[in-house]
């Protein structure tokens, strides 16, 4: 089953890679699209995405922690959840492509290119350092290595 997931992921990233070259040229894809890039808009949107994710995760955790008596998530785990949520994906890009190509909405091209840039920036930056962030924020628990090896062996035997 994981081969289908890897193949699907490869197809999605290949499509996004092809879109970079299409939109980088400022090509018209249809009658109204003129794809321009705004570096300042991309920068501001990156900051807004990061701050929005931090605000959403920490606020949701704060509200939910008021409803329970014990703390189940450590500060390090909460930071890792926030970090992992920074990655924007192909769904965001797919949704922005669904914006109608309407003459009254002239900023469609800038929104598409900004979303494409955000997907690439967050995937490359946050995705590249995910393993490193996991090692720093979530060190392995003591005594769990043997349990993990047993779990891997039992899952391997099933397939």
8-17 pLDDT per residue, tens = 878 877 888 8
Number of domains present in the structure of the chain: 1
Backbone angles phi, psi at 104, to 5 degrees: -80, -20
Token pair for residue 99?
């914006």
* pLDDT tops 60 at residue 45: yes
Q: Is 0.75 surpassed by the pTM of this model? A: no
Q: How long is the chain?
A: 159
The least confident of 2-16, 77-91, 142-156 is 142-156
3-state secondary structure of 73: coil
Burial class of residue 90 in the structure, from the number of CB atoms within 10 Å of its CB (0-12 exposed, 13-18 middle, 19+ buried): middle
Angle ∠(98,100,105) on CA atoms, nearest 5? 130
- Residue 57 structural domain: 2-158
């Amino acid at each position: 089953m994981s081969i289908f997931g890897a193949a699907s992921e490869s197809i999605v990233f290949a499509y996004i890679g092809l879109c970079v070259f299409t939109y980088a040229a400022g090509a018209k894809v249809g009658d109204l699209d003129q794809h321009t890039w705004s570096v300042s808009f991309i920068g501001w949107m990156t900051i807004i995405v990061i701050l929005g994710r931090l605000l959403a995760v920490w606020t949701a955790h704060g509200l939910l922690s008021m409803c329970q008596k014990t703390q189940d998530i450590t500060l390090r785990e909460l930071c890792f959840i926030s970090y992992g949520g920074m990655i924007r994906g192909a769904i965001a890009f797919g949704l922005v492509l669904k914006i109608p190509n309407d003459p009254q909405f002239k900023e469609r091209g800038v929104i598409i290119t900004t979303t494409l840039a955000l997907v690439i920036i967050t995937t490359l930056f946050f995705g590249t350092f995910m393993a490193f962030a996991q090692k720093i924020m979530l060190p392995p628990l003591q005594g769990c290595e043997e349990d993990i090896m047993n779990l891997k062996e039992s899952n391997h035997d099933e397939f």
